Amino acid sequence: MSTPTEEEDDLDAIPDGELLALPSGAIPPGWLSEFFGRRAALIHQQDTDELALELSGDSSRHLMIFPGLDPKEKRRREEEGRRRTLLAEQEMQEYRERSDRLLAQIDQQQRVVEKRRKEIEDNALKLHDGLRVYVDGDQYRDEQGTVLSGTDRDEAAALHSTTPDASTWRQKNEIDDRYEELKRLKQKVLDDRGQAERGGQDLNAASDRLSADEKEFAGRVEARAQQAPVDYGSADYMAAFGDEYTISTVPAFTKAADGQTVADRKNTETENPQTQNAPRPSGQIAPKI
């Protein structure tokens, strides 16, 4: 590095980098004013250039601006925000679709229950004044559960004697309980969905609650299916025995009703035309020789 001397005309001959590196003590007294003026101009230009680079995002240093003002950092945060917003919208849409499906299934079950409820009501005993009465063992109850007595009980007993399959108090309670359970579950799903859409609860928590509701509903449907009476003539019933039996659309007892066993059919198939046409004794079939 060169040091200014008396012989030098001015500071113009000194490169910018060297000038900035010169200690002020090495500057002749006559050059101090020019030295500090030129040095200040160089520093200002460097700062201006650095600021332009940082504002354009072409500099990884943050000497002139705060890191949060970095254009690249701002773009990264904006992109991250858009990505999170899109993901949240997708999750909310999936949540809505799931809740819509569950609500539709609940509505369908409610229609089934309401139909069955009406059937039970229509099949109840009806007194002369229109009061519906349900059989409860050897007692009779009205719709509020009050046990009938006196002439009302006598009238109900007389009606029951001619309508032995009248609706029971147990049937009414069971169908009412099912109706209330579905009503409660539907309202719960609607309330949770409303809170999730308003931002009142975390969407992940809302999704977990919906999963629990779906599981509860599926469990109730499965339990009802298991309680349904078995149709012994159905293909599903026969399929439970595996491949050992042939699945038929008619009950097995109708196959046996034709008086011919599997062994008889096999014997018939192995006989020749002469033995097939030969007269057979009545009663028990004689053994083949």
pLDDT number for residue 187: 95
Identify the band that residue 69 occupies on the pLDDT scale cut at 50, 70 and 90. Answer: low
Is there a single domain that holds both residue 115 and residue 195?
yes
Question: Comparing 57-61, 69-73, 79-83, 180-184, which segment has the lowest mean pLDDT?
Answer: 57-61
DSSP string covering 128-151:
TT--EEEEETTEEEETT-PBP-HH
Q: Is the pLDDT of residue 141 over 70?
A: yes
CB 267 within 8 A of CB 260: no
3-state secondary structure of 125: strand
Q: Tell me the average pLDDT across 99-125.
A: 96
Q: Give tens-digit pLDDT for 106-118.
A: 999 999 999 999 9
Quick check: 250 pLDDT over 50? no
Which of 71-75, 85-89, 214-218, 230-234 is predicted with the least confidence, judged by mean pLDDT? Answer: 230-234
Say if 135 falls within a structural domain.
yes
Which residue has better confidence, 189 or 79?
Answer: 189
Same domain, yes or no: 200 and 103: yes
Q: Are residues 212 and 182 in the same domain?
A: yes
Q: Quick one: 105 exposed, middle or buried, by C-beta within 10 A (0-12, 13-18, 19+)?
A: middle
Stated length of the chain: 289
Tell me what the pLDDT averaged over the chain comes to.
Answer: 75
Which has more pLDDT, 62 or 7? Answer: 62
pLDDT of residue 147: 97
Domain-embedded: residue 249: no
User: What integer pLDDT is reported at residue 84 of this predicted model?
Assistant: 86
pLDDT band with cut points at 50, 70 and 90 for residue 227: confident
Same domain, yes or no: 128 and 36: no
Tell me how many domains the chain contains: 3
pLDDT of 177: 95
At residue 224 the predicted structure's pLDDT band, cuts being 50, 70 and 90, is confident
pLDDT single digits (tens) 72-82:
777 777 888 88
62 shares its domain with 187 = no
Res 40: pLDDT: 79
Residue 214 and residue 96 share a domain = yes
- The model carries a pTM of 0.53
Mean pLDDT of 62-83: 70
Determine the pLDDT at residue 266. Answer: 46
What's residue 105's pLDDT?
Answer: 95
Q: Is residue 191 part of a domain?
A: yes
Do residue 216 and residue 148 come from a single domain? no
Q: Are residues 208 and 106 in the same domain?
A: yes
d(CA 220, CA 226): 10
Q: Are 217 and 94 within one domain?
A: yes
**Domain assignment of residue 266, yes or no:** no
Domain that holds residue 155: 124-164
For range 252-263, the mean pLDDT: 42
pLDDT at residue 289 greater than cutoff 80: no
Average pLDDT over residues 251-259: 41
DSSP state letters, 13-46: TS-HHHHHHS-GGGS-GGGHHHHHHHHHHHHHHH
In a domain, 250, yes or no: no
pLDDT at residue 86 in the model: 87
